[in-house]
Amino acid sequence: MQSIDRVVFNTPTVSVGAFRCPVNHPSFRDSGPTQRHIVVFPRTGVWIRHAGSRPFAADPAVVSIYNAGQEYTRAPMHPEGDRCDWFGLSDDMARDVARTADRRAPVDSRRPFRFQYAESDARLYCRQRILFDRLVAGSADSFEVEEEVLTIVSSVLRRASCERALPARLSKAHRELAQHARAELVRDATIPMSLSAFASRIGVSPWHLCRVFRAATGLSLHAFRLELRLRLALERLENPSVDLSRLAHELGFSSHSHFTAAMRGRLGRTPSGFRSALSGAGRSGSKGVEAGRRAGVLRLSSTPFDVLRLARPHGRASV
């Protein structure tokens, strides 16, 4: 069986890897505790539940954060399962970075990262993605990579520590509603739909959904879906022969020019510019993803409640 976890760069202090786990893989629900202190950039969406905590939607607009030895479980959200890239630090380096990025980070702790996740802005997502693809293509200098990984992890921890707390008036039900909406958007990010139809599918009024989602995420529903579409575009732009007009249509943009304007405005580069930056990098996990899509053995969940019933992890080693 093809390995679901692949290390693409490794030194005594820094490591980078790719995790590709289709929904029908035996380790999908529980791939074991993390071996490193890592930050994870999802390419698809899954429900993640750290042991003893509530589940959260780990989608492409989020960076998941783990201390070494963290036990967790996952539940499916997207038909391709869990596809993500991770950036890891050694114990000493993680503590060093955490102390400078987070003023409240515990000193000399085995768990220097205080947070489970942070929101990922477009430029940070692109920065890590270009670095990852350069590593896969073999075009990155080791000295540069180590420095860049430290910068990326520090940026994630700073974002996590500086993000405003949810307003006290935002109830548990409202937070769960926002998570539910995120999962639905991740699953159908490219499908055109009206706001009324989307809200009806979730079971609330359009205005209530808009208010709650913005209060919980700081983004409108439209802006969040746009972010998802642009991250999906980066997947496809790794192929140097992709037709940009067709790609724009498949992602739900009204035209090639709309696609170009959105990517330049949000990510600072045109689709053709990203294609040049990303082309040549290897793509892993396609066979496993296709197998998972064909098998369809796990029901995709748009709510976190199934995750709450998952058993405690057992201890297989993985990311």
Topology, domain 172-278: Arc Repressor Mutant, subunit A (1.10.10)
Residues of the chain where predicted confidence (pLDDT) is lower than 70: 1, 163-168, 279-319
Q: What is the pLDDT of residue 302?
A: 53
Cβ partners under 8 Å of residue 81, min gap 6: 20, 21, 22, 23, 25, 28, 44, 46, 288, 289, 292
198-222 residue pLDDT tens: 999 999 999 899 989 989 988 899 9
Q: Both tokens of residue 261?
A: 């304007």
| 5-163: CATH superfamily | Regulatory protein AraC (2.60.120.280)
Q: What is the pLDDT of residue 140?
A: 83
Residue-range domain boundaries for the chain: 5-163, 172-278
pTM beyond 0.85? no
Q: Evaluate whether 66 touches 38 at the Cβ level (below 8 Å).
A: yes
Q: What is the pLDDT of residue 155?
A: 94
Q: Both tokens of residue 31?
A: 């791939």
Q: Is the dihedral of CA 208, 212, 217, 219 positive or negative?
A: positive
Q: Evaluate whether 37 touches 65 at the Cβ level (below 8 Å).
A: no
Between CA 106 and CA 32, with CA 110 as vertex, the angle to 5 degrees is 130
Q: Evaluate whether 293 touches 269 at the Cβ level (below 8 Å).
A: no
- How many residues can be counted in the chain? 319
DSSP 39: E
- Fold match, 5-163 / 172-278: no
- What gap in Å lies between CA 145 and CA 74, rounded to an integer? 30
Task: Give me the torsion for CA of 5, 227, 165, 154, rounded to 10°.
Answer: 50
20 bridge partner residues: 83
Q: Both tokens of residue 286?
A: 């396609």
Q: What is the pLDDT of residue 303?
A: 52
Three-state DSSP class for residue 43:
coil
